[in-house]
Amino acid sequence: MSKLPISFEFFPPKTEEGKFKLLKVHEQLSSFKPEFFSVTYGAGGSTQERTVETVLELNAKGISTAPHLTCIGATEENLTELLDLYKNNGINRIVALRGDLPSGMGSTSGEFQYASELVTFIKDRYQDSFTLEVAAYPEMHPQADHFDTDIENFVKKAEAGADAAITQYFFNADCYTHFVERVRKAGCNIPVIPGIMPIINYSNLIRFSDACGAEVPRWIRKQLEAYKDDSKSIKAFGAEVVASLCRQLVDAGAPGLHFYTMNQTEAVESILDKAQLI
Ligand code: FAD
């Protein structure tokens, strides 16, 4: 079997203990020889310095590390400063996003409104210095009015120069194949990599999913609810469900998998082990 490209996403740790733990997680996941790691970035200020610090530290260890970069509320000047810093430190990949301003920060009066504008900006200023990944929403972006326009808006990001897309997580392989079919019909051929969320904890999963518009199917919710506090059973069931999803996605032609690791190895390792894909 040829090697399936995979990538792993982290969030920037807040504490010294978190940093230490992430270095261990990074070391363990490096053994899967991922294409890249990525590190999230808080639109509107929170975590931004920690993202830079984490990205530079991990990238120096040898496997390409991509910062997420959001444009909402940003100016050309501060984006240029950050992109120059990344370029000068050997970063060659960016996950280019709009981001969501934290509630209470008001609406978008900044210089950028949409991720496609960020992609255009990076391409104009930096040409091909960075491989650009953008976000995709197989279940539709939660703020979009209509699926058709959301697809059109996704295609604009590819037309602006995005090299590939990573999806929001989902638990139903059909929404992925449907989304890919629609963007192909719209003439867009960039790889669309499914984002894979391990199931580790019931209440966190429901909270995240409500916030980002990802659907947790009833049969999964009901089974997780039935396990109550039995975290061993939740993890075992979650690993089976997500491994099966990964297999279906690869069978359906997914060109790789991107794991939302939550800075933990156990669940991802268990999924990869059960899915037998690499
Ligand atoms: P866009 O592509 O700009 O789309 C946002 C909305 O605007 C959509 O509804 C779209 O249909 C609409 N739209 C786009 N263009 C136009 C247009 N020209 N006219 C009218 N409407 C338009 N958030 C963070 O803050 N930090 C992170 O690190 C982060 N990482 C992420 C990683 C992945 C893989 C994913 C899938 C999401 C991530 N997010 C992150 C969340 C993301 O920032 C939010 O979902 C945000 O609401 C949308 O970002 P986007 O880049 O998809 O925006």
Domain count, the chain: 1
Would you state the pLDDT for residue 118? Answer: 98
pTM, 2 dp: 0.97
Atom 53 (ligand 1) nearest CA? 98
| Structural domain contains residue 202 | yes
Q: Is the CB of 135 under 6 A from ligand 1?
A: yes
Ligand 1 mutation target, pool 121, 141, 192, most atoms within 8 A of CB: 141
| Structural domain contains residue 100 | yes
| Structural domain contains residue 1 | no
Would you state the pLDDT for residue 107? Answer: 56
Would you state the pLDDT for residue 277? Answer: 86
Atom 33 (ligand 1) nearest CA? 135
| Structural domain contains residue 87 | yes
Residue 261 burial (C-beta neighbours within 10 Å; 0-12, 13-18, 19+): buried
What is the extent of the structural domain holding 203? Answer: 6-274
| Structural domain contains residue 146 | yes
Does residue 9 carry a catalytic annotation?
Answer: yes
61-81 in b/e burial notation, b at 16+ Cβ within 10 A? eebbbbbbbbbbbbeeeebee
Residue 1 above 50 pLDDT? no
| Structural domain contains residue 223 | yes
Ligand 1 center to residue 99 CA distance, Å? 6
| Structural domain contains residue 148 | yes
Q: Is the CB of 74 under 6 A from ligand 1?
A: no
Ligand 1 center to residue 98 CA distance, Å? 5
What are the pLDDT digits (tens) for 189-200?
999 999 999 999
Query: Could you tell me which residues come within 8 angstroms of residue 124 by beta carbon, excluding any fewer than 6 positions away?
Result: none
| Structural domain contains residue 96 | yes
Residue 103 above 90 pLDDT? no
Residue 140 above 60 pLDDT? yes
What are the pLDDT digits (tens) for 27-39?
999 999 999 999 9
**Cα-to-chain-centroid distance, residue 58:** 17
Q: What is the CATH number of the domain that holds 52?
A: 3.20.20.220
Ligand 1 center to residue 276 CA distance, Å? 32
